[in-house]
């Protein structure tokens, strides 16, 4: 269950300070409560829109000691033929959702000078990722496990570090590549859970997929906004960044319907599919 937003939190008076406080919080329960309280206070205009802290030296987000992080190649394959395999898959999803909380908070506190709607969008994403994490964590607990019981990898936050210097690059590479890939693979994961009769996890993943379309759409919208502000062609810029950060490689198949809803053009989808065959 998601803890109430009444935990004893050291309140700050700006959006940046409060989002940074939540970003640095290490415990899952503390981070969830912090985000929920931040969202409430932002919605009631209790926080100043001031960005005075230099975050150039902030490279890490708060996280618990467990799970231990290993290289992706060192993670065991997650097979759903056993309860442990089922839990391992859910744990991987929970880890993605926990990192997504931090990524949304980082976007809020790191990039000054953007319209208020930018911060509203990413705080809304953060609170929805808290909800997702709580749902998946409860499924883990239903199976006798908890977040931290399996190893994980830090690839998503590694990309956050690499894109910290520029919100345009962050919007292109995190929501429009990494999170968009989640749109592609989630239906297949849902089918695997359905095949073993885990209908509860399927329902959780339906909620996550529904909300993640909106998260990727927010990334698309702000990527296009920043390209327009800088006089850049968005599609040319997007694929130039894919070449730089992913060596021009993409994975398929694409969930085209979800990606269209999330702000991708048909031209972009055709280009992405061409990269899959390289």
pLDDT tens readout for residues 110-130: 999 999 999 999 999 999 999
Does the CA dihedral 177-243-272-252 come out positive or negative?
negative
Residues in the chain: 278
| CATH class for the domain made up of 15-48+77-276 | mainly alpha
Other Cβ atoms closer than 10 A to 160:
23
Asked if the model's pLDDT at residue 235 lies above 50, the reply is yes
pTM for this prediction: 0.92
9 or 60, higher pLDDT? 60
Question: What's the pLDDT score for residue 1?
Answer: 35
Asked if the model's pLDDT at residue 10 lies above 70, the reply is no
Q: What's the token pair of residue 39?
A: 């969202």
| pLDDT tens digit sequence for 124-178 | 999 999 999 999 999 999 999 999 999 998 877 889 999 999 999 999 999 999 9
């Amino acid at each position: 269950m998601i803890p109430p937003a009444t935990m004893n939190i050291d309140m700050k008076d700006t959006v940046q300070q409060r989002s940074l406080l939540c970003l640095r919080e290490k415990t899952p329960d503390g981070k969830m409560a912090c985000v929920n309280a931040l969202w409430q206070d932002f919605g009631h205009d209790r926080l100043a829109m001031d960005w005075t802290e230099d975050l150039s030296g902030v490279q890490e987000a708060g996280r618990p000691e467990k799970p231990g992080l290993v290289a992706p190649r060192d993670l065991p394959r997650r097979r759903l033929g056993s309860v442990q395999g089922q839990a391992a898959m859910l744990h991987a999803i929970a880890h993605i959702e926990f990192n997504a909380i931090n990524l949304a908070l980082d976007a809020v506190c790191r990039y000054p000078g953007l319209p208020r709607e930018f911060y509203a969008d990413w705080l809304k994403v953060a609170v929805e990722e808290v909800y997702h994490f709580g749902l998946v964590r409860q499924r883990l607990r239903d199976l006798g496990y908890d977040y931290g019981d399996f190893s994980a990898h830090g690839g998503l936050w590694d990309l956050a570090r690499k894109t910290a210097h520029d919100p345009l690059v962050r919007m292109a590479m995190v929501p429009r590549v990494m999170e968009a890939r989640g749109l592609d693979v989630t239906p297949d994961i849902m089918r695997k859970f359905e095949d073993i009769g885990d209908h509860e996890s399927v329902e959780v993943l339906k909620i996550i997929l529904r909300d993640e379309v909106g998260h990727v759409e927010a990334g698309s919208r702000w990527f296009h906004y920043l390209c327009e502000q800088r006089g850049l062609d968005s599609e040319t810029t997007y694929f130039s960044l894919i070449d730089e950060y992913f060596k021009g490689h993409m994975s398929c198949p694409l969930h085209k319907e979800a990606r269209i809803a999330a702000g991708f053009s048909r031209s972009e989808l055709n280009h992405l599919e061409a990269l899959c065959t390289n």
